[in-house]
Structure 1
């Protein structure tokens, strides 16, 4: 087995002390007035010898691991995979490494993963909470462990969060369908107590009430873990019994499964029903009638989350709940005369 190169080995080759090598490799050459030529020789020798720093020893000395935990519900969801990529890139710019986990919307998984990441020495957490996780989130808040909620939040827990303005997003989707002349507009949501979904439902309902269309408010809630059969049942009732002419799906996964079901039912978009989704996906653009959707500022949501977390890690007393502006991308699926 090849011997691992140490600071002592580099010091011996260069002809200086191990402490001097350590100062140079830790970026403290100027602080300790080490000559540029000596510092250059140390760095070049370390590179030639393929020196790899002992991060465990370094973290023990400094009390910092430079690790951040990111817990999402489903990394295969395009929205969360995009979030993870941006968080990783931003963290790397700040010399942090991100450990990523998925909970599958399961409370026990969430609790276990938080414990695992804390035991691995992460300095902070970015967490997408699941249904029933308020108690866990409150514990993190009360322990003052650096934590930022992403995409979802709890109104009565004083913990930083970076989210979409979900109420406004649903308002925009509803206003757009109303402006196109649709009146019998329904909404398909997950059966959950998470605030982001509740805010979207409220935005839709309030806008329908303002338009004097309370009688046409239809909210169908489906199982978050096995939604396709529930979606099919809900759509058959809405299309054939309620005779809706507009439909809003509150997440990209709901929309993807919903479009599949509508296609199976031979429902034509927008001839039979207009459709608006959330978040967008390749499937939205490739559908025979490209889908209108609410676009989330994914990059801003992710970068704000990591920047807030770094402030907390650096002992800056900072708590904020961010609600970022949505954008409506109008395509063929919702136009009255496409």
Structure 2
């Protein structure tokens, strides 16, 4: 294997000091009054030998890697993928690169990824947190590393976060169904206690209770294998044939639900009305198009990266943490008659 060249190798080959080479490669030649002739000679040699600087070593010297770590639940999910792309574009324009990965909402995997990012000396973290990583996030903040959470937050951990008003969003959607005359409204969501899902459930419960209607709730465990989520949804609907409307807790469950209803030969909205939390371009193409609670994706991405860049570009480590709560939009389509 060919040995990778170092600054020392370059310095020895040109018979100059490694400090001089370092100043030239880091753009400080004029500041250090290094002659243009020597600068030209070093840069020419570097180009000839194909020298590539060690980014990790550089980050150790400068204290900055210009890398941001982005952890989302599932990068293949349209919601997270769109936000990640916008964050990446904005970060790049501000001199930062993004390393991102999917956590699968798994605590241990998230902890391992945070440890990997620490080893890479990333400058800041954007995280969609699963349960159980409060200590890990607190440790990052204690060490002076900026952290911005989005989609959900961790009660008891003081950090910046960007979320939507989940409680009002599902309350509003459930009220819409009630006002349309539906009485046996089911709420199908993921089985976890994370803030976004807990608030969505609370919004549904609040609307149903105010109208003195009986709640009908199915919480599904998350699996990569979609079949393991469609089966319990089918069993639930078979057990509750009176269901005349369903509010799905997110778009992944919504797509699973559409497949279940097709298998059960249920017509939308004649047999069952549907609303899904998180809009998705496919929902507009469904027959009929699906009513959805649309999150402000552009605004979420903008707020998240703005918060982090502000933290990275300020010398104040312990400023007041910002909690941003954005509104959603109930997009009425033909899945609710």
- TM-score by length of structure 2 reads 0.83
1:181 deviation in Å?
Answer: 2.7
1:138 deviation in Å?
Answer: 3.6
Give the stretch that moved more between structures: 134-143 or 193-202. 134-143
1:143 deviation in Å?
Answer: 4.0
Q: Look up the match of 1:277.
A: 276
Kindly report the root-mean-square deviation, in angstroms, between the aligned alpha carbons of the 2 structures: 3.3
Asked whether the equivalents of residues 277 and 291 of structure 1 are also in contact (C-alpha less than 8 Å), the reply is yes
- 1:208-247 aligned at under 5 Å gives the runs 208-210=208-210, 213-225=211-223, 226-238=228-240, 240=241, 243-247=242-246
Separation (CA, whole Å) in 2 of partners of 1:168 and 1:255: 19
Q: Look up the match of 2:295.
A: 296
Q: Look up the match of 1:146.
A: 146
Asked whether the equivalents of residues 147 and 160 of structure 1 are also in contact (C-alpha less than 8 Å), the reply is yes
Helix, strand or coil: the match of 1:290? Answer: coil
Q: Look up the match of 2:127.
A: 127
CA distance 1:190–1:214, change in 2 (3 Å):
farther
Separation (CA, whole Å) in 1 of partners of 2:10 and 2:118: 34
Asked whether the equivalents of residues 72 and 102 of structure 2 are also in contact (C-alpha less than 8 Å), the reply is yes
Separation (CA, whole Å) in 1 of partners of 2:191 and 2:44: 61
Q: Look up the match of 2:14.
A: none
Q: Look up the match of 2:161.
A: 161
- 1:77-96 aligned at under 5 Å gives the runs 77-96=77-96
1:10 deviation in Å?
Answer: 11
Separation (CA, whole Å) in 2 of partners of 1:30 and 1:323: 47
Asked whether the equivalents of residues 174 and 204 of structure 2 are also in contact (C-alpha less than 8 Å), the reply is yes
1:197 deviation in Å?
Answer: 0.3
Separation (CA, whole Å) in 2 of partners of 1:263 and 1:46: 67
CA distances 1:78-112 after superposition (whole Å, capped 9, x unpaired): 11111221121111111111111112121111111
CA distances 1:210-252 after superposition (whole Å, capped 9, x unpaired): 3xx33322221111224222211122223x1xx1222100111
Q: Look up the match of 1:325.
A: 327
Separation (CA, whole Å) in 2 of partners of 1:249 and 1:299: 23
1:56 deviation in Å?
Answer: 3.6
What is the number of equivalent residue pairs in this alignment? 329
Asked whether the equivalents of residues 231 and 258 of structure 1 are also in contact (C-alpha less than 8 Å), the reply is yes
Separation (CA, whole Å) in 1 of partners of 2:5 and 2:287: 60
Asked whether the equivalents of residues 129 and 154 of structure 2 are also in contact (C-alpha less than 8 Å), the reply is no
Helix, strand or coil: the match of 2:213? Answer: helix
CA distance 1:137–1:18, change in 2 (3 Å):
closer
Separation (CA, whole Å) in 1 of partners of 2:299 and 2:20: 42
CA distance 1:3–1:305, change in 2 (3 Å):
same
CA distance 1:139–1:45, change in 2 (3 Å):
closer
Helix, strand or coil: the match of 1:215? Answer: coil
Asked whether the equivalents of residues 169 and 328 of structure 2 are also in contact (C-alpha less than 8 Å), the reply is yes
CA distances 1:121-155 after superposition (whole Å, capped 9, x unpaired): 11111111113333433443444432111211123
Q: Look up the match of 1:14.
A: none
Unaligned ranges ≥5, structure 2: 12-16
- TM-score by length of structure 1 reads 0.83
Separation (CA, whole Å) in 1 of partners of 2:301 and 2:185: 32
Asked whether the equivalents of residues 69 and 126 of structure 1 are also in contact (C-alpha less than 8 Å), the reply is yes
1:208 deviation in Å?
Answer: 2.3
Give the stretch that moved more between structures: 169-178 or 286-295. 169-178
Asked whether the equivalents of residues 296 and 326 of structure 1 are also in contact (C-alpha less than 8 Å), the reply is yes
Asked whether the equivalents of residues 237 and 243 of structure 2 are also in contact (C-alpha less than 8 Å), the reply is no
Helix, strand or coil: the match of 1:299? Answer: helix
Separation (CA, whole Å) in 1 of partners of 2:300 and 2:185: 29
Separation (CA, whole Å) in 1 of partners of 2:65 and 2:109: 24
Q: Look up the match of 2:69.
A: 69
Q: Look up the match of 1:137.
A: 137
